[in-house]
Amino acid sequence: MTAELAEPASKIELPASAGGGGEIPTFNITLRVRRYNPEISDEATWEDFELTMYGTDRVLDALHKVKWDHDGSLSFRRSCAHGVCGSDAMRINGRNRLACKTLLKDLDTKKPILVEPIKGLPVEKDLIVDMEPFFQSYREIMPFLINKGHEPTKERLQSAEERERFDDTTKCILCAACTSSCPVFWTDGQYFGPAAIVNAHRFIFDSRDDAGDMRLEILNDKEGVWRCRTTFNCSEACPRGIQVTKAISEVKQAILTRRI
């Protein structure tokens, strides 16, 4: 544990006399976390933690510090800690972000840093939400290649232009930052949500896939793309920079014109 803790801080722990060549500035922050434990209370409450953090630290490092040094009961998901696995989406200062991609120094450290679970999905404990409704929508759009032709003996070829059409939507890591930033999804949990539409887009516009029509039919549902009110919260929240609202608009147009 100490080895893990020391990792970002190792250069700092040296005595000052050792020289400040690689010194990283430190600062104090107040981390204000939305705590919820159904075994104790049905009410969620805020809890403050005073921490000394380093210029290289991210919100995830602050959460680790709390969990490892202050209060081991703090619960949150994280896996790779490098913005690839999509486990640690949470609301940081009121906006959906990945804790592992948000540097503390980029936030206003004079004020408390607010950390809450993502909205619209049932909270299980602290920052952990039930992702099942989210993955249910994801499964419904059939996020896999469907090809009616014969199994090819070599790879399925595709031109650079054909690939370019859905390049943006291949980047999704299923962190749910987009879906849980959507005001429509907060009030209507039946809505497919941006992430499912993004992943449908990834196959609808793939020249190797033959089930585009089927997916368009699924998304033409009243809980499908037409629920989108173009608030752009999803595009702004996406940690991979996917132009989510644009992808949804492309699906809307494909449904209207029946042309992919």
Partner 1 sequence: MPTKPAGTLYRGREGQWSWVGHRITGVVIFFFLLVHVLDTSLVRVSPEAYTAVIGAYKNPLMGLGEAGLVAAIVFHAYNGLRIIAVDFWKNGPKYQRQLLWGVLGLWVITMVPFLIRHLSIVFSPITGGH
Q: Determine which residue in the list 48, 71, 130, 213 makes contact with partner 1, applying CB under 8 A.
A: 48
Q: Determine which residue in the list 89, 172, 252, 254 makes contact with partner 1, applying CB under 8 A.
A: 252
173's enclosing H/E stretch is none
Task: Look up residue 103 and give its DSSP letter.
Answer: B
What is the smallest separation between the CB atom of 225 and partner 1, expressed in angstroms? 10
If one asks whether residue 54 binds partner 1 (CB under 8 A), the answer comes out as no
Identity of residue 211: A
What is the smallest separation between the CB atom of 48 and partner 1, expressed in angstroms? 7
Q: Is the dihedral of CA 231, 237, 243, 249 positive or negative?
A: negative
Q: How many residues bind to partner 1 according to rule CB under 8 A?
A: 29
Query: Within 13 Å of residue 53, how many CA atoms lie on the same side as its CB?
Result: 27
Residues of span 20-39 touching partner 1 by CB under 8 A: 32, 34
Residues of span 148-187 touching partner 1 by CB under 8 A: 181, 183
Q: Decide: helix, strand or coil at residue 9.
A: helix
Measured distance CA(31)–CA(5) in Å, rounded: 18
If one asks whether residue 102 binds partner 1 (CB under 8 A), the answer comes out as no
Measured distance CA(30)–CA(62) in Å, rounded: 10
Residues that bind partner 1 (CB under 8 A): 32, 34, 44-48, 91, 93-95, 114, 116, 119, 181, 183, 229-233, 235-236, 243, 245-246, 249, 252-253
